Structure 1
């Protein structure tokens, strides 16, 4: 078994209200050289929190998290651990990462899929 770190990706369409929904999971496993995000945006839940939420902009921001995991854009040249820490750093934006948690797994990809099913869908 290999240790890993993960955080739930949360959308907060109206920061001033503090309401949020889980929209994905970010998982980092240093020993397996693995960093990935899996997302699922439930538009009806999002729009229940804020009927004027810009769904397209939130989807674009989620895509940017995927690109950051892969080392694209501003994350180019960063190591995986640096990208993970950058993504989980506290922020006051529509998308944010929740607290970082730890676990053990033999298969980071399968664990990421399991966590998304359990915590997001």
Structure 2
């Protein structure tokens, strides 16, 4: 049975003042399946085309932190105390940083993990 889910594309904006970005992942939340996950993929050449001085190691670390936050935080930080829905809302809240979430969209799926794979293939690869 298909159930509703919410997702947002994770975007890298290496120079906020220019407004240029590339899609680097997708975060998906499905309350009914108790599912929150982010899958990321950094296309280094595409990012360097926007900013040849982009800090690739820093961006990779920031992307990893999104995945850790989805899982509940490994360091005992604020994410550990949050419910999945709260962590999703925290990650997709508007921000002016090198990584941000695009608009939140909704859909229906039987398998949130398979749907996340489909969205990453469609929107990031």
TM-score w.r.t. the length of structure 2 is 0.96
Q: Aligned runs of 1:25-64 on 2, under 5 Å?
A: 25-64=26-65
After TM superposition, give the deviation of residue 74 of structure 1 in Å: 2.6
Gaps of 5+ in 1: none
What is the match of residue 22 of structure 1? 23
**Match for residue 111 of structure 1 among 105, 108, 115:** 115
What is the match of residue 95 of structure 1? 99
List per-residue Cα deviations over 1:11-43 (Å, max 9, x = no partner): 000011000000000000000000000000000
Q: Distance in 2 between matches of 1:108 and 1:33?
A: 10
Residue 24 of structure 1: SS of its match in structure 2? strand
Aligned residues: 121
After TM superposition, give the deviation of residue 77 of structure 1 in Å: 1.1
Alignment of 1:77 with 2:81, yes or no, is yes
> Over aligned residue pairs, what C-alpha RMSD do you find?
0.5
Q: Distance in 1 between matches of 2:98 and 2:71?
A: 21
Gaps of 5+ in 2: none
List per-residue Cα deviations over 1:58-87 (Å, max 9, x = no partner): 000000000100111330110000000000
Residue 31 of structure 1: SS of its match in structure 2? coil
Q: Distance in 2 between matches of 1:17 and 1:76?
A: 34
